């Protein structure tokens, strides 16, 4: 008897999952999440571009802070978008990715809002600075709105879970003693 013949009839070769082109998929960016993530990246990029076009500044510290914040927000939004679209999502796990996203978005939105306010207060009122401020405020709104939407979705899921699985009730069989004592 050959060693391999015993297992040939019952053992099947392991099927490899089909490769995606460039390892990219949009299945984790369902519904509102894809447009929101794309909007965050686009608005952040427009804020960076407008800020880079500014030629003269009176108080440059506000412009530098806005530059740092807008560039960081753009890179962070691209990084999180790449995580959602690649195999890194499965590697890290849905809970970890959701948790990082849940804390990164409000932090980025708050810093972007602060940087936009500082730039508006210290700008020389040129058209390019006003455009950078506008895109900064819009981008911060996109980051903060995702946080609000995610918060309300998580609350809705918690309420739905509670209604599906009510707490202990008086007539539940789990609460009855195993042996009735007379």
Q: Provide the domain limits for residue 87.
A: 30-155
Q: Does 180 have pLDDT greater than 80?
A: no
The pTM of the full predicted model, rounded to 2 decimals, is 0.71
- Indicate whether 20 belongs to any domain: no
- Indicate whether 11 belongs to any domain: no
Q: Does residue 129 contact residue 119 with C-beta atoms inside 8 Å?
A: yes
- Indicate whether 178 belongs to any domain: no
- Indicate whether 35 belongs to any domain: yes
Q: Does 82 have pLDDT greater than 70?
A: yes
* pLDDT given for residue 4 in this prediction: 56
The model's pLDDT over 100-136, given as tens digits with 9 standing for 90+, comes to 888 899 999 999 999 999 999 998 888 999 999 999 9
Q: Does 174 have pLDDT greater than 70?
A: no
27-32 CB contacts, 8 Å cutoff, 24+ apart: 28/84, 28/85, 28/89, 28/94, 29/81, 29/84, 29/85, 32/149
- Indicate whether 67 belongs to any domain: yes
């Amino acid at each position: 008897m050959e060693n391999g013949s015993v297992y040939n009839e019952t053992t099947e070769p392991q099927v490899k999952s089909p490769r995606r082109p460039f390892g990219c998929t949009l299945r984790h960016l369902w519904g509102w999440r894809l447009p929101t993530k794309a909007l965050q990246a686009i608005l952040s990029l427009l804020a960076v571009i407008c800020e880079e076009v500014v030629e003269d500044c009176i108080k440059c510290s506000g412009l530098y802070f806005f530059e740092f914040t807008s560039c960081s927000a753009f890179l962070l939004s691209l990084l999180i978008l790449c995580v959602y679209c690649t195999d890194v999502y499965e590697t890290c796990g849905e809970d970890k990715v959701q948790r990082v996203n849940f804390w990164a978005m409000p932090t980025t939105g708050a810093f972007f809002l602060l940087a936009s306010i500082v730039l508006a207060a210290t700008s020389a009122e040129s058209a390019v600075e006003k455009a950078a401020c506008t895109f900064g405020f819009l981008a911060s709104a996109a980051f903060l709105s995702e946080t609000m939407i995610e918060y309300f979705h998580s609350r809705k899921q918690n309420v739905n879970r509670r209604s599906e699985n009510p707490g202990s009730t008086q007539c539940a069989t789990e609460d009855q003693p195993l042996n009735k004592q007379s």
